[in-house]
Structure 1
Amino acid sequence: MGFFSKILDKLGFDAGAGKVAEMLNAPVPMPAGKPPTAPMDAPAQAIPVVDVVAILEKKAAASGQKLNWRTSIVDLLKLLDLDSSLAARKELAAELNVRAGADGTAEQNIALHKAVLSKLAANGGNVPKELLD
């Protein structure tokens, strides 16, 4: 089981091993005015919606910790009770093909946070636009 699949499990996505691979390869939604990343004639598939923000806010309220999961990949992983160490983030970055900045830098952590939320949004996660920008 890859690291991203652990995130999916914690958020209640219904994803088996084959589905996780499909999710990792799904195109990331582009802002308005940019060309789509998938062919327009690709068949539409029904994706069950998972309210990511509601789940995370509920977990944050119950955690007793002050975690800024909206902008911090470390806090997001802590909130999901997952390993947030540099080694874990390197594994996640490799899995999501995030190559921004050196390992553990703010640049990489920001890019990794955006990549996680974008992949969740691309695969049925209800993630507000302001968290994807």
Structure 2
Amino acid sequence: MSIFDSIKNAIFGKAEAAEAPAGTTPTASSPTAPSAPASTPAGAAPSSPVDVAAVMEAAVKAKGQKLNWRTSIVDTMKALDLDSSFSARKELAKEFGYTGDTGDSATMNIWLHKALMKKLAENGGKVPADLMH
């Protein structure tokens, strides 16, 4: 699985879990109630736009750390419990077609964050307008 697919599945899967309709988890009166799907299949867009900001804010809150997912690719990946190492980010840059110097991590990280937000929007994510530049 690509790094982008891991990010997308983490965000879209968390959104599905949060939006699961009432009655989809077993209760004492209905122990065989069906459960909601665990995640959106790879390559498939969700049925309705996923609010990326809401999912990310909840993920940051759950981590209990000060993470700035709105500007940092590293913090975005950390909030989603994904590998945010330099090598993982270089691999993501390769997936996204980054042509700059991967040795210049600051420039690459800024580019990656913008590219990630664009890709999430293209794949069914509702990304805040201020992050789409």
Q: Do the structures match in fold with TM over 0.5?
A: yes
* Cα RMSD (Å): 1.9
The corresponding residue for 1:75 is 75
Unaligned runs of 5+ in 1: 24-45
| Bigger CA radius of gyration | 2
The corresponding residue for 2:51 is 51
Q: How many residues align?
A: 107
4+ residue segments displaced more than 2 Å: 99-104
1:77 aligned partner, one-letter code? M
For 2:107 and 2:64, the matched residues in 1 are separated by: 28
Superposition deviation, residue 72 in structure 1: 0.5
The corresponding residue for 1:127 is 127
Per-residue deviation, residues 37-90 of structure 1 (Å, max 9, x unmatched): xxxxxxxxx963111100000111121100011000001000010000010001
Higher relative contact order (CA 8 A, sep 6+): 1
Residue 100 of structure 1 pairs with residue 88 of structure 2: no
Instruction: Specify which of 13, 35, 41 is matched with residue 15 of structure 1.
Output: 41
Superposition deviation, residue 104 in structure 1: 4.9
Give the TM-score of the pair, scaled to structure 2: 0.73
Superposition deviation, residue 123 in structure 1: 1.4
Aligned to 1:59, the other structure's residue is in SS state: helix
Give the TM-score of the pair, scaled to structure 1: 0.73
- Asked if the contact 2:102–2:108 (Cα under 8 Å) also holds between the matched residues in 1, the reply is yes
